[in-house]
Structure 1
């Protein structure tokens, strides 16, 4: 998510039809979708803003993989429209994460460090599995490279969640959780706006392109 181009970039038709690439995307999509459900539930039950923010990242990647699979080979206008919808949804979800973080600051909620650490570790394993799965495709076109980079960066984000859990446990306060959540939420907001800007530029170019 943080890279702002996880699976939304244009790819040559012959590349997107590669069976191994599509199979890897389907597996990564399934893993990310399942982790979103797990983390959003754990984040709500454990009152962890960082887990909710990381769940947003999994949802964003799931949408990116789905878009990469569904609109590959279609006209630029359709790909740009799909990316625009993705960007808007990411911005809305990022605003929700930031809003819930502010609410938790005001409520002085203390997250469950044990749940944070356990779920964060599972999320780290999931993203490492996706990164290893996509490793063989990292030298492909821009779309493939961006997916690999996002998976790698997501694993780094999961390390931040685990570190936040340790910080909550060590300090007895919720500030480490809130700080990590704010950072991840801001990254999601930035990534969503970048996607929207790029999609609008592509729609503008396609509208004025010679027929």
Structure 2
């Protein structure tokens, strides 16, 4: 996502009725919570770093949607504060994935390419559905922007998981799985910085008002 897409952070997206936004958030919250359980189970069973990382990303997104619902309609200070928490959580998730990559590298785990590929396709379909639901709400403040970034990152990560599954199948090694984990970690850390900067800018504007 380009830097230009991150500039509309002055106030709540007034053109979108709060009721419609709440319904969209509840829908993607339910979708992501269900996918977290399914993908984590598959990741543990299939010994895949990428699937487990992506599953925890679904969990993080579920928490993000829940927190966004809590502060929806509140003041800029509350919404920016929630975005700060979510930005820090994204960063923590990125570092956690890096640690998990190190563990599986030491263990020499060989994931199941079939499980990675099939679950990756299911996860991609899930995130595309979430993206369609959230698309019209993507131009809001840092709080709603963080929601959109989470959904976008998940779709990119799913494509990487599918590519990683092909790599594991072709090479017979776990390196492609670890590479996908690195991509997911990088996305999380990059989005963390973006959301934190937006939230800090909103807090400064609120302080000057």
TM-score, with length taken from structure 2? 0.82
Is residue 75 of structure 1 aligned with residue 75 of structure 2? yes
Equivalence map 1:22-171=2 (5 Å) = 22-135=22-135, 137=136, 141-142=139-140, 151-152=151-152, 154-171=154-171
- CA distance in 2 between partners of 1:90 and 1:64 (Å): 10
In the comparison of the two structures, how many residue pairs are matched? 204
Contiguous gaps of at least 5 residues in structure 2: none
8 Å contact kept, 1:13–1:72: no
Contiguous gaps of at least 5 residues in structure 1: none
Q: Cα distance, 1:201 vs. partner?
A: 3.5
Q: Cα distance, 1:33 vs. partner?
A: 1.6
What is the CA deviation profile of residues 35-72 of structure 1, one whole-angstrom value per residue up to 9, with x for unaligned ones? 12222232233221111222233233323322332212
- CA distance in 1 between partners of 2:158 and 2:101 (Å): 18
After the TM superposition, which segments of 4 or more aligned residues of structure 1 sit over 4 Å from their partners? 1-5, 143-150
8 Å contact kept, 2:149–2:191: no
Aligned residue for 1:178? 178
Q: Cα distance, 1:169 vs. partner?
A: 1.2
SS of the residue corresponding to residue 16 of structure 2 reads helix
User: Mean Cα displacement is larger for which, 188-197 or 53-62?
Assistant: 53-62
8 Å contact kept, 1:44–1:52: yes
User: Mean Cα displacement is larger for which, 26-35 or 123-132?
Assistant: 123-132
Distance 1:76 1:142, change over 3 A: closer
Q: Cα distance, 1:190 vs. partner?
A: 1.7
User: Mean Cα displacement is larger for which, 196-205 or 98-107?
Assistant: 196-205
Q: CA RMSD in A?
A: 3.0
User: Mean Cα displacement is larger for which, 34-43 or 94-103?
Assistant: 34-43
TM-score, with length taken from structure 1? 0.81
SS of the residue corresponding to residue 15 of structure 1 reads coil
What is the CA deviation profile of residues 151-173 of structure 1, one whole-angstrom value per residue up to 9, with x for unaligned ones? 45533321221111121111100
Q: Cα distance, 1:2 vs. partner?
A: 11
Aligned residue for 1:209? 208
8 Å contact kept, 2:86–2:146: no
